[in-house]
Amino acid sequence: MSKMQGGVTYRPFETSDFDAVATLLNRLWCSELIPEAGELASRIELSGYLAQTTHSLVAELDDELVGAMLLAELDRVPRDATAWRRRHSRLVRLSHRNAHLAREVAKNSDVIDEESRLAEDFAASGAAEGAAVMKLLVVDPATHGRGIGGHLFGEARRYLREEGAEGFFLLTDDGCDVSFYDYKGLARTMTRPSQIESPAGGNGVDDFNLYVYADRL
């Protein structure tokens, strides 16, 4: 069911949204890669997230997708998980067509793998916030100031409260605007230096860190 607020339409993710969300990911997080690698890396990343997603929301402005939020509830089986895992595997195989392309894609996928290991460590800690993870929150920078990110984030919180979740967490890094999560009142509960040299989306920083932010509901 869709809902309009401030001229922006919010509705669940549909399979037909895949290319639009992947393009947004590519623009924001894979722009330092060569174009072919950026396109593949963003699609590999997104299909991996969707294989774990149990709740989703996208934002549309003037019939253009401008934001997306994906949640994974760790005690629920995602819908269409098998199909998304198959797509993820096909894309990974495609990235191995030649060594240069594989190395470029790895600049993004290696960081995603690091974040996955950090997420597993946090979930295994027994923290109440470990029951659900926000896999993705992305907004087109051209629409900043319209409250889209805040609305997507707020709807995730509302949904999880209604489902009885005690909290949730998310993974982020120095390539993102982590101040958004500080502003929203989340606690930075874990920090881990990346072991990846020159990760995609690292913004040229020398020390690139991964973070767990957690929210008790």
The 10s digit of each residue's pLDDT in 107-135 is 899 989 999 999 999 989 999 999 999 99
Residue 196: the pLDDT is 82
Q: Band the pLDDT of 48: cuts 50, 70, 90.
A: very high
pLDDT tens-digit series, residues 182-215: 999 999 999 999 988 656 555 555 688 999 999 9
Q: Looking at per-residue confidence, does 4 or 19 come out higher?
A: 19
- For residue 57, pLDDT over 60 is answered with yes
Q: What does the H/E/C string look like for the chain? A: CCEEECCEEEECCCHHHHHHHHHHHHHHHCCCCCHHHHHHHHHHHHHHHHCCCCEEEEEEECCEEEEEEEEEECCCCCCCHHHHHHHHHHHHHHHCCCHHHHHHHHHHHHHHHHHHHHHHHHHCCCCHHHHEEEEEEEECHHHCCCCHHHHHHHHHHHHHHHCCCCEEEEEEECCCCCHHHHHCCCEEEEEEECCCCCCCCCCCCCCCEEEEEEEEC
Residue 18: the pLDDT is 98
What is the rounded (10 degree) CA torsion for 170, 31, 60, 113?
-30
Contacts of 72 (CB under 8 A, 6+ apart): 49, 52, 53, 54, 78, 132, 133, 134, 135
Distance CA 142, CA 209 (A): 26
Q: What percent of the chain has pLDDT over 90?
A: 83
- For residue 143, pLDDT over 70 is answered with yes
pLDDT tens-digit series, residues 69-114: 999 998 999 989 999 999 999 999 999 999 999 999 998 999 899 9
Per-domain residue ranges for the chain?
3-216
Residue 1: the pLDDT is 66
Question: Across all residues in the chain, what is the average pLDDT?
Answer: 93
Q: Are strands 3-5 and 8-11 parallel, antiparallel or unpaired?
A: antiparallel
CATH architecture of the domain formed by 3-216 = 3-Layer(aba) Sandwich (3.40)
- For residue 147, pLDDT over 80 is answered with yes
Which of 81, 69, 170, 177 lies closest to 119, judged by CA?
170
| pTM assigned to the model | 0.93
